Amino acid sequence: MDVKRVKDYISWLYYQYLLVTCSYVLEPWERSMFHTIIVTVFAMVIYTAYVFVPIHVRLAFEFFSQIFGGKPESTI
């Protein structure tokens, strides 16, 4: 791929992001605050999914395996 095409595609994606979020009408300092908040919220969602989703999946798997005839765990 051509470097210019990749750069144009990334700039097009960024422009689409600005249009979808309507942040193109904000002043530069407002836009930077908006982007900071969006990145922070996105990072918190990713962290929460990384920490808590595997625990819930494991618990759901244990629950359904007991319901559908799985072997009971040892009570030692």
CA quadruple 50, 56, 59, 62: dihedral sign: negative
- Ranges 12-16, 36-40, 60-64, 72-76: which has the least confidence: 72-76
**d(C-alpha 50, C-alpha 38), whole Å:** 18
The pLDDT-based confidence of 72 (bands split at 50, 70, 90) is low
Structure tokens, 73: 């765990």
Type of residue numbered 65 = S
CB 60 within 8 A of CB 70: no
Structure tokens, 29: 């300092």
How does pLDDT run across 21-69, given as a tens digit for each residue?
999 899 999 999 999 999 999 999 999 999 999 999 999 999 998 888 7
